[in-house]
Amino acid sequence: MSNINNNFEYICEQALEPQVFIESCEARYNNKIGNIAQLIADREISEIVMIAGPSSAGKTTTANKLRSTLLEKGINSYIISLDDFYLDNKDAPLFPDGTPDFESVEALDIKCFQEKMKELLYNAETELPEFDFVTGSRKPEYKKLKIAPTDVIIVEGLHALNPVITDVLPKDRLLKIYINVSSRIYNNKGSIVLNKRNMRFIRRLVRDSQFRNSPVEKTYRMWIKVRYGEDTFLFPFRDNADIKINTIHLYETCILKEAAIELLSMVKKDSEFYSESQRLIRALEQFPVIDKALVPDNSLMREFIGPKEI
């Protein structure tokens, strides 16, 4: 992971010049993506890039940024989301209480994924499924994909480093990438202001409210199962990665602060999440505010705050 100054007082100091602060954070992340793209360009064989990471780590943006950076180098690539290989909700594995376990690797149609990847690798074309999250089922129409010998395949998803997924792929062509918010924020006294999961939760809280119409209590309840899925099906395999990317943007709490506090303030006193929500509010209140309009259109943070307002 890159060395960064994840100090609260440093963040507050840098926020005094917000544009410069944002540009430096964006450059750190973009340089990492550029280095990976160059690594791929320098190899004589096309890569299968597996990008795994926990919820709200920024998998979608990372995959898209890698794709656009490769294109700048004259390399075509195609993104395959493991989410499109979900089984229909009615066929999903169940928790002991009978509710669907969408975090399990067994919630994916692994056989279908294996078949489609083999078709791509050996026949250079296939038809890919697309999952409809509104209906909770696979769409009847499949998407055709045809690749050239030098094209790169980018597979992104929670389980992209799981051996169940990777063991059917040629090892000499695999490049495994693990991404996460991998830095806590400390103050000068050595106390943790926000831990890594706090930061991802804040990202998800703001995103799910804005784009998925998810109330804060629902996000909290989902987060319990999300954490279970990460602990069981992702973190044990993170060291399988060839490359790790820390997706923290040190300015992010400053742009998420106001929206997150507003949402957390909706948690009622009789809620089981009240104490935790109040703790996060107290932590967030310490940060300065930075106008989200300063965030570039192509920033990873736009995955959580949305596009610029016109």
Q: What is the pLDDT along the chain (310 residues), one digit of tens a residue?
A: 447 899 999 999 999 999 999 999 999 999 999 999 999 999 867 789 999 999 999 999 999 999 999 999 999 999 999 999 999 999 999 988 888 899 999 999 999 999 999 999 899 999 999 999 889 999 999 999 999 988 999 999 999 999 999 998 999 889 999 999 999 999 999 999 999 999 999 999 999 998 888 899 999 999 999 999 999 999 999 999 999 999 999 999 999 999 999 999 999 999 999 999 999 999 999 999 999 999 999 999 999 999 987 6
pLDDT score, position 310? 64
Question: Per-residue b/e over 184-219, b at no fewer than 16 CB within 10 Å?
Answer: ebbeeeeeebbebbbbbbbbbbbbbbeeeebebeeb
CA atoms of 211 and 58, how far apart (whole Å)? 15
Give Dmax over CA atoms of the chain in angstroms: 60
Q: Do residues 287 and 12 touch, judged by C-beta distance below 8 A?
A: yes
User: The domain containing residue 124 runs over which residues?
Assistant: 8-305
Q: Is residue 293 part of a domain?
A: yes
Residue 105 near residue 162, CB atoms below 8 Å:
yes
Evaluate whether residue 3 is within a structural domain: no
Q: In three state form, how does the secondary structure of the chain look?
A: CCCCCCEHHHHHHHCCCHHHHHHHHHHHHHHHHHHHHHHHHHCCCCCEEEEECCCCCCHHHHHHHHHHHHHHCCCCEEEEEHHHHECCHHHCCECCCCCECCCCHHHECHHHHHHHHHHHHHHCEEEECCEECCCCEECCCCEEEECCCCCEEEEECCCCCCHHHHCCCCHHHEEEEEEECCCCEECCCCCEEECHHHHHHHHHHHHHHHHCCCCHHHHHHHHHHHHHHHHHHCHHHHHHCCEEEECCCCCHHHHHHHHHHHHHCCCCCCCCCHHHHHHHHHHHCCCCCCCHHHCCCCCCCHHHHCCCCC
Structure-block tokens of residue 209: 């409210």
The reply to whether 12 falls in a domain is yes
How many domains are there within the chain?
Answer: 1
Which CATH number belongs to the domain containing residue 33 in this structure?
3.40.50.300
In a domain, 230, yes or no: yes
Residue 2 falls inside a structural domain: no
Is residue 48 within 8 Å of residue 170, measured between CB atoms? yes
pTM of the model: 0.94
| 57 within some domain | yes
Contact present, 219 and 207 (Cβ < 8 Å): no
- In-domain check, residue 47: yes
Q: List Cβ neighbours of 101 (8 Å cut-off, separation of 6 or more).
A: 92, 93, 94, 95, 107, 225
Nearest to 219 by CA among 239, 235, 233, 205: 205
Q: How far apart are CA 83 and CA 112, in angstroms?
A: 12
Distance CA 133, CA 86 (A): 10
Specify if 127 maps to a domain.
yes
Is residue 155 a contact partner of residue 173, using CB atoms and an 8 Å limit?
no
